[in-house]
Chain A
Amino acid sequence: MNLINGKIVDDTAAWQIESDLYPRICETLSKPKLDVNTVISACDEFVSGLTFDQYAALFEQLGITREAAEAYILRGKNEFGKEALCERLSRELGENRENIHPLGVLLHIAAGNADGLPVFSVLEGLLTGNINLLKLPSAVDVVTIPLLLRLFEIAPCLAEYVYVFDFSSKEITKTESLIQYADGVIVWGGDAAVSAFRRTVPPNVKLIEWGHKVSFAYVSKAVQEEELPLLAEHIAKTDGLLCSSCQGVYVDTEDLASAADFCERFLPYLSKCAAEKSYGVGITAHRTLYLENERLEGNRIWRGENCGITLRPDTALDSGAGFCCIWVKALPKEQILPVLKPYRNRLQTVGLLCPPERREELAELLFTAGATSVTHGDMSQSTLAHDGEYSLRRYVRICTM
């Protein structure tokens, strides 16, 4: 489905409009700058009226439980309510924004790994006053268009700032065609996607990359027991799918025996959270194959209900198998920098579980190694900046007169 000027149109109509997009864009741009307060009020009204029942069918389609859905809604309210948005704008763009102008037209190439990400990206574009061309992710996306339609219901004037196109990533010519209208191209995705755009985007178009990142936990042997449940909850809640999802745990130790002790300690917590989830046979089989492979590789494994922990002898920062399967490795503090530094620009969140008196020192070391956010056990808590940068700043220009 494509969405143009607040209306759903078929592919033929969408690409007919696309072939003659300049006059439309210029017309929109020639109007007075999009008032940021309009966007903020629309977002605020949107999230404050948000209830589970309103989108119950949609959540069911996505396989999201009521509890998880309510957590999402609460998070939406916290992040897109008036207060939060005003605070974010001041933080990222400053109080005096007279000299700040939108880039103009943003092309969003959204990824399919997080539901709602395309809408999130477009909202950031609107907050900075840009026109937004959105290429939907190839995966089936049932969220974006209903949410945007609701937003336009609240603030019809926003509709002309959003164009949603639905086509396969492999249709390179269509992507190239959209790039010709863009002042900035925002790419969410893996290395392959980012590299492809580095080759395609001409030098006079700003390329804004939000590439895939890896997150993990760093745990000291003296970690307090009460820190563990939050980490387990995070692992179960995100299934390893997000950039901020914990893929594995490094234990601050030199010997594998201590790392094995951690596996032993952590398993009951992970098992408890994982047992509450219901996975289909496909994911269960995926996890089983992964653990069987680890067993045949000769690695020690701990199995729990719907989950598994493998103890690996190396220190590489791998992605885990997801779905409550994590690795545990030994990484003494002295090794943090040499081991993690090569993953430059790949690290994101580190869940740091350690005694308070060591927190500052270890966090500093992790930042030096490349992490952009250090949290406690709940690694999915929102951060001040996305991947270490204030994203809104990248969607604007500073102009002087």
Chain B
Amino acid sequence: MDRNLYNLPKNDPSFFARTEKAVAYHAARCEAYEQLLERAGYTDRTIRSYDDLYRLPSIPTLFLKNHQMYSTNPRMAVFKATTSGTSGKKSVAALDLGTCLSALKMVARVMSYYGVISPVPVNYVVLGYQPNKSNELGVAKTAFGATLLAPALRRKYAIKFEDGIYTPDIDGTADALFRFSRQPFPVRIFGFPAYLKFLLDELHARGIRLTLPKNSGIYLAGGWKQFAGEQMSKPELFEYARDILGVPPQRCYDFYGAVEHPILYASCKCNRFHVPIYSRVLVRDAATLEPVPYGTPGLASLISPLVKSMPLVSVMTDDLLVMHEHCDCGIPSPCFEILGRASANDLKTCAASAAELLSK
């Protein structure tokens, strides 16, 4: 067991120092970031405590959508991903080689903590976009990346790319699951929660109940977006998956991450996302942005010194979340739950545009 991954107090001094260094690094290389810090009145740039982290200006994703800010030449980027903002503005993340390697190390460490990395070959069902060269959507890349965590026998994508367009293929997905269930290898299902529910509904409607091979698992990411009406709680959804697919809830995982903050958060058995040593998550009052105590919902600053190519040290997403200091699962670090979006209506993002395809 990796005892240090969630031991924040031990890591705090080094995290503060690396964050302070990261701010200075980006401020020196990215003029727009330096200007932003100045406009925000950020003069004392020492970071020695959580209070100092709160003081560090946190960039709203809206700002990132209007300004391309780079600390290294973006042409040196080895990985580009965009959020699928259908509202017209896209957020672009360009990561350099060093950042990608750090990120991969981080992902590998988090994934192996949850036993997701395995040498046993598996069949994959990806409830998302099939990758193609022109698709820079973060979700497509992450979904493909996820299928590298254990050797892949077959990959079945629920949204297939054919003749230059994406079309949903629920029938084909159901068939693939049926075939995979008769093979001796574990099955891994990746995707949006709404998609999983539609798939389960479809199987249920056809009277199909499967028992996927031992060690099969379900790995979800993203919210319900405009399917809020269809929303089930994670425990309910996982019970539903047990019923239809025969996958026990303890093998169902939920992940959280953002293009602007490429840190992987995995849900524990209490369905909460624990903060690993790679980042800190600070919740702020929804009206004043002042720090709030544990248990109070608000906006969040996601802080990490990991990215070198863009000044994404502290970003503020549109998610509303609540932090808890302790969790019954035994993982020692604070953990959070996502409560919704900072919006009157459902903002259209990745899951929403995938969902639109599905309803065509």
Chain B min CB distance to A288 (Å): 6
Task: Determine the chain A residues whose CB is within 8 A of the CB of B36 once the complex forms.
Answer: 296
Q: Are A172's CB and B60's CB within 8 A?
A: no
Partner of A282, one of B59, B288, B340: B340
Q: Is B318 an interface residue (CB 8 A)?
A: yes
Provided the pairs A286-B342, A322-B344 are in contact, do residues A292 and B289 lie with their beta carbons within 8 angstroms? yes
B308-344 residues at the A interface, CB under 8 angstroms: 316, 318, 320, 340-344
Q: Is A140 an interface residue (CB 8 A)?
A: yes
Chain A min CB distance to B262 (Å): 21
Partner of B344, one of A168, A282, A297: A282
Mask, A299-334, CB within 8 Å of B = 1, is 000000000000000000000001100000000000
Known: A281-B320, A289-B299, A296-B63. 13 other contacts (CB 8 A): A140-B229, A168-B359, A170-B357, A281-B297, A282-B344, A285-B298, A286-B318, A289-B316, A292-B316, A293-B66, A295-B40, A296-B59, A298-B39
Task: Determine the chain B residues whose CB is within 8 A of the CB of A295 once the complex forms.
Answer: 39-40
**CB within 8 Å of B: which residues of A?**
138-140, 168, 170-172, 281-286, 288-290, 292-293, 295-298, 322-323
Q: Are B298's CB and A293's CB within 8 A?
A: no
Q: Are B40's CB and A296's CB within 8 A?
A: yes
Chain B min CB distance to A319 (Å): 12
Q: Is B150 an interface residue (CB 8 A)?
A: no
Task: Determine the chain B residues whose CB is within 8 A of the CB of A288 once the complex forms.
Answer: 286-289, 299, 342
Q: Are A286's CB and B63's CB within 8 A?
A: no
Q: Are B360's CB and A286's CB within 8 A?
A: no
Task: Determine the chain B residues whose CB is within 8 A of the CB of A323 once the complex forms.
Answer: 344
Partner of B62, one of A140, A285, A293: A293
Task: Determine the chain B residues whose CB is within 8 A of the CB of A293 once the complex forms.
Answer: 60, 62-63, 66
Chain B min CB distance to A318 (Å): 12
Q: Is B57 an interface residue (CB 8 A)?
A: yes
Task: Determine the chain A residues whose CB is within 8 A of the CB of B202 once the complex forms.
Answer: none
Q: Is the interface of A mostly helix, strand, loop or mixed?
A: helix
Task: Determine the chain A residues whose CB is within 8 A of the CB of B297 once the complex forms.
Answer: 281
Q: Is B356 an interface residue (CB 8 A)?
A: yes
A-B interface, 5 closest residue pairs, ranked by CB to CB distance from nearest: A285-B342, A285-B286, A168-B359, A293-B62, A170-B359
Task: Determine the chain A residues whose CB is within 8 A of the CB of B298 once the complex forms.
Answer: 281, 285
**In whole angstroms, how far apart are the Cα atoms of A171 and B60 in the complex?**
35
Provided the pairs A282-B344, A285-B342, A323-B344 are in contact, do residues A292 and B359 lie with their beta carbons within 8 angstroms? no
Using CB atoms, name the residue of chain A closest to B320.
Answer: A285
B217-245 residues at the A interface, CB under 8 angstroms: 226, 229
Chain B min CB distance to A203 (Å): 25
Q: Are B60's CB and A296's CB within 8 A?
A: yes
**In whole angstroms, how far apart are the Cα atoms of A168 and B359 in the complex?**
7
Task: Determine the chain A residues whose CB is within 8 A of the CB of B40 once the complex forms.
Answer: 295-296
Provided the pairs A171-B360, A284-B286 are in contact, do residues A290 and B344 lie with their beta carbons within 8 angstroms? no
Task: Determine the chain A residues whose CB is within 8 A of the CB of B60 once the complex forms.
Answer: 289, 292-293, 296
Q: Are A283's CB and B289's CB within 8 A?
A: no
**In whole angstroms, how far apart are the Cα atoms of A293 and B345 in the complex?**
20
On chain B, the number of residues with a Cβ less than 8 Å from chain A's Cβ atoms is 32
Q: What are 27 A-B pairs at a CB distance below 8 A?
A: A170-B360, A282-B320, A282-B340, A282-B341, A282-B342, A282-B343, A283-B343, A285-B286, A285-B287, A285-B298, A285-B318, A285-B342, A286-B344, A288-B287, A288-B288, A288-B289, A289-B60, A289-B316, A289-B318, A292-B60, A295-B39, A296-B39, A296-B40, A296-B60, A298-B35, A322-B344, A323-B344
Task: Determine the chain B residues whose CB is within 8 A of the CB of A140 once the complex forms.
Answer: 229
Partner of B299, one of A168, A172, A283, A285: A285
Task: Determine the chain B residues whose CB is within 8 A of the CB of A171 once the complex forms.
Answer: 359-360
Q: Are B286's CB and A281's CB within 8 A?
A: yes
**In whole angstroms, how far apart are the Cα atoms of A139 and B344 in the complex?**
12
Q: Are A286's CB and B359's CB within 8 A?
A: no
**In whole angstroms, how far apart are the Cα atoms of A288 and B283 in the complex?**
14
Task: Determine the chain A residues whose CB is within 8 A of the CB of B356 once the complex forms.
Answer: 170
Task: Determine the chain A residues whose CB is within 8 A of the CB of B320 once the complex forms.
Answer: 281-282, 285
Q: Are A172's CB and B360's CB within 8 A?
A: yes
B28-74 residues at the A interface, CB under 8 angstroms: 35-36, 39-40, 57, 59-60, 62-63, 66
Chain B min CB distance to A309 (Å): 16
Q: Are B62's CB and A290's CB within 8 A?
A: yes
Task: Determine the chain B residues whose CB is within 8 A of the CB of A290 once the complex forms.
Answer: 62
Task: Determine the chain B residues whose CB is within 8 A of the CB of A281 once the complex forms.
Answer: 286, 297-298, 320
**In whole angstroms, how far apart are the Cα atoms of A138 and B36 in the complex?**
40
Mask, B340-360, CB within 8 Å of A = 1, is 111111000000000011011
Chain B min CB distance to A328 (Å): 19
Task: Determine the chain B residues whose CB is within 8 A of the CB of A285 once the complex forms.
Answer: 286-287, 298-299, 318, 320, 342
Q: Are B342's CB and A289's CB within 8 A?
A: yes
**In whole angstroms, how far apart are the Cα atoms of A297 and B57 in the complex?**
12
Task: Determine the chain B residues whose CB is within 8 A of the CB of A283 once the complex forms.
Answer: 343-344
**In whole angstroms, how far apart are the Cα atoms of A285 and B66 in the complex?**
19
**In whole angstroms, how far apart are the Cα atoms of A290 and B63 in the complex?**
9
Q: Are A286's CB and B343's CB within 8 A?
A: yes
**In whole angstroms, how far apart are the Cα atoms of A297 and B60 in the complex?**
11
Chain B min CB distance to A266 (Å): 20
**Central interface residue in B39, B226, B287, B343, by most chain A CB within 10 Å:** B287
Q: Are A296's CB and B360's CB within 8 A?
A: no
**In whole angstroms, how far apart are the Cα atoms of A42 and B359 in the complex?**
38
Chain A min CB distance to B292 (Å): 11
Q: Are B39's CB and A289's CB within 8 A?
A: no
**In whole angstroms, how far apart are the Cα atoms of A322 and B342 in the complex?**
13
Task: Determine the chain A residues whose CB is within 8 A of the CB of B35 once the complex forms.
Answer: 298
**In whole angstroms, how far apart are the Cα atoms of A290 and B60 in the complex?**
8
Chain A min CB distance to B259 (Å): 17
Using CB atoms, name the residue of chain B closest to A298.
Answer: B39
Using CB atoms, name the residue of chain B closest to A241.
Answer: B344
Chain B min CB distance to A174 (Å): 11
Q: Are B344's CB and A289's CB within 8 A?
A: no
Task: Determine the chain A residues whose CB is within 8 A of the CB of B345 once the complex forms.
Answer: 139
